[in-house]
Each structure stands twice: as structure tokens, then as C-alpha cells.
Chains A and B, each alone.
Chain A
Amino acid sequence: MRNLLLTAVLAVAAAGAAQAHAFLERAEPRVGAVIARAPAALRLTFSEGVETALCRVSVTGPPGFGGAGAVRPAPGDPTSLAVELRGPTPPGAYTVRWRVMAVDTHVSEGTFRFEVRG
């Protein structure tokens, strides 16, 4: 009975409280990866759902890089975004800057790099 009461009180204290922030859980190419050839698109997966319309991803690369396309939702996965890399994608270091608004209203941002060896 005492445990039940304690659980109930804890529950009231916690209810509606634990709102997570969207953290980058994984990326394709992986964070810090050195790859032989740039993919056609980047895919960023977050720890919770994101509002695609309010997310921004920019990619900078070596001279000659064609730039990044618009942010698109990844089909069937509300936690992922896809960003097309417009060719050409010459060898060199690429920096990805992301800023996302999670479905729980929180904004988070970050940067990661990958390298195309060629």
C-alpha cells in the first residue's frame, strides 16, 4: 500500500514533465565517417519526432560542391530527415549543420562532419 501511494505521488510529480529534446541519434553517412563516395542524400535520425517543415539542414563542402537540397521527411519515419546532395560532390571534408524543432516544441541544433576520400 505504501509503495502504491509512493508510486502515485511520484507519478503526479512527473506527469507531463519529462519532455525530451531531439538529439541526433545517427546519420548516414555516419558522424566523422570517411567514405569513398558521397551518397545521393543524407539521412539524419533523431531521438524523437521532428517537425520537418521547421527543420533546417545546411551542408558545406570543398570547392565545387553543388550544395544541399531541401529537407524532406523520410518516408514512414517521423524521426528522420533526408537531404539530397546536389552533385558534384568532390573529395574533401563536408560539414553538416542541423537545426530541428521536435514535435514537443523543443529546438536543438548541432554540427557534424564527414569526409569523402574519392
Chain B
Amino acid sequence: MSQGLDLAIVAVRFASFGLAIAALGAAAFDTYAPGGPRAAAAVRAMSALLALSVLGYLTLLGREAADVSWPSPNDVAAIATSTRFGQALVVVLLAATVQAAMGMSPGFRWVRLALAGAAIAPFAFVGHGADAAGLAGGVLLGLLAAHLLAIGVWLGALPWLLLAVMRRQPDRLALLERFGLVGGVCVLVVLGTGVGVLVFMMIAAGGNLGPGYVATLLAKLAFVFGLLCLAAINRFWLTPLLRRHPERARQALTRSIVTEQLVAVAALGFVALLGQLDPTM
């Protein structure tokens, strides 16, 4: 169980990250695109699934720690209470549970956004950031949290943008322009925090990365590069085209956003996998 790749943990990481990103993106989209599709119901559903996924994550970690096939409640409680990553997962669990139980009134829009943020930022403590200490550790955790929030606001909103484009919403050009602005800021934050995290990682890894790990990292790199290219195409080519050739632009945007989502899912898969790989392998 230990040291080898635990596919169940990879799967639950993938589900947890994906649901947290999707919930945050939907909650964010609902604040800057009130003319767009209402996402409150989806945020609730995804938050309920996120809470279940995080429970599964805690259970699998309890199984790992106790080295048993099925952990006892005490094993899971030990993870949840005595480790920093366990406490972070409990924060995610609480935020997602409150979100799932909350009303769907438009008046709760900003509360939903705050809760969705609280359900993704603690993932900074689940992984390399957990080993950080002191001021430098605080900076690393801040960078990771900002990285996660920006990814969520950007990529999690894509399904809602797609819906708006496909439904031929009359205000879709204004909506695309608003998304372009928010998404552009998010991409800059993702790049900026990514550089910061890289600096920490290079110091921590000491250049001791194995070929298997590097190959997986490069595969993720290819998908991330694809994401950035698609985002640039949407923002700088297809959105302006919507003014001149609405139908042509709509079809191209639909294809492009669908592709962007598939690429994002693939990149997320590699993130979930990388987190479980031994960097020296």
C-alpha cells in the first residue's frame, strides 16, 4: 500500500480538486455574469459531492496511515485532528457541507463565492506546502492558495461560459468580455504564483527529479501550454470575431471551450497523479 502508487488516492484527489474547481468557477461566474445561467444549484450539488469526496480522501489517508484494508473511525479521526493536512481537509469538508446546505437565493451570491474559496484554498496544505515552515513557508502556502483560487475562478467557469455561448444569450458578447477580463487576471495570477512555487520547488528538490516524474511533469506541461493557447485564441481572436461573424464565432467558441475543458480535465489528471508520484522515480 505504501510507497507504491495508490490509484484510489489519485482518483479521490482528482475528484476533490475537480469538484472544488468546478464549484468555485460556478460561484464566481454567478457574481460577474448575473445575466448568465444561474449556477447556484450546481454549486450546491458540486459542494455536496466535494464533501463526500473529501470524506473519502480522509478515509483513504486513514487506511494508509494505519496500514489496514479498512480504517476504523479512530484512524480517520487521527488523520483529521492530528495532522495539518487532515485539519485542512476538515475545513474543506465544513465549507462544502455548509455550501451544500445553504439556500440558493441570489442574495447569497457572495457568501457562496466565499465558501467555494474556503473549500479550495486549504488544499494548499495538502501536499508539498505542508512541509513549509516559518515566513518562507507562509509565503509558499499563500502562493499555492492563490494559485488554486485563480485556477478555480478561471477553469471552473468554463462550463457556464459554454452554456451561455451555446444558448445564444443576447448578452453573450458582454459576458465573454467580462470573462476575458476575469480569466486574464486569473491566468496572470496562475503564472505569477507558479513562478513563485517553482522557486521553492527547485530549492526543495535540489534538482533530484527522476525520469518517470519528469516525463509525467512534461505531459502536464503540454496540456497546460494547450490551455494557455486556447485561452488566448478565445480571448484575442474568437471574442472579437463575435461582433463581426456571430454564428461563425459561436460555433468556433463552442468547439474551443469544449476542447479547453477536456484539456483542463487531462491536466487535472496529471496533477492528481503527480501528487502521488515519488519525484525521484
Contact = CB atoms under 8 A, between A and B. Distances in A.
Contact of A20 (B67, B78, B193, B204): B204
B209 A13 contact: no
B267 to A, nearest CB: 9
A27 B185 CA distance: 48
A99 B78 contact: no
A99 B196 CA distance: 32
Nearest to A107: B2
Given A11-B191, A11-B197, A18-B204, A103 B64 contact: no
Nearest to B197: A15
Contacts of A54: 65, 78-79, 82-83
A9 B221 contact: yes
Interface residues of A, number: 31
Contact of A9 (B127, B131, B224, B274): B224
B130 A8 contact: no
A90 interface: no
Nearest to A103: B130
A14 B201 contact: yes
A99 B67 CA distance: 9
B177 interface: no
Interface string A73-88: 0000010000000000
A105 interface: yes
A60 interface: no
A49 B2 contact: no
Contacts of B82: 51, 53-54
Contacts of A8: 191-192, 194-195
A103 B141 CA distance: 14
A16 interface: yes
Chain B interface main SS type: helix
Highest count of chain A CB atoms <10 Å: which of B64, B198, B220: B198
Nearest to A101: B65
A1 interface: no
Interface string B177-218: 000000000000011111111100100110001000100011
Contact of A14 (B148, B197, B276): B197
B83 A17 contact: no
Interface string A83-118: 000000000000000010111111111000000000
Interface string B76-112: 0011001111000000000000000000000000000
Interface string B238-281: 00000000000000000000000000000000010011101110
A14 B217 contact: yes
B126 interface: yes
A20 B281 CA distance: 11
Nearest to B201: A18
A43 interface: no
Given A9-B221, A15-B194, A54-B83, 17 more contacts: A7-B195, A11-B194, A12-B190, A12-B191, A13-B220, A14-B201, A16-B275, A17-B271, A19-B128, A19-B274, A102-B131, A103-B85, A103-B131, A104-B126, A105-B64, A107-B65, A108-B2
26 contacts: A11-B191, A12-B191, A13-B218, A13-B221, A16-B129, A16-B147, A16-B275, A17-B217, A19-B128, A19-B274, A19-B279, A21-B3, A49-B133, A51-B82, A54-B79, A54-B82, A103-B130, A103-B131, A104-B126, A104-B131, A105-B126, A107-B1, A107-B2, A107-B3, A107-B65, A109-B3
In the A-B complex, the 10 residue pairs with the closest CB atoms: A11-B194, A13-B221, A11-B198, A107-B2, A12-B194, A17-B274, A15-B197, A11-B195, A53-B82, A15-B194
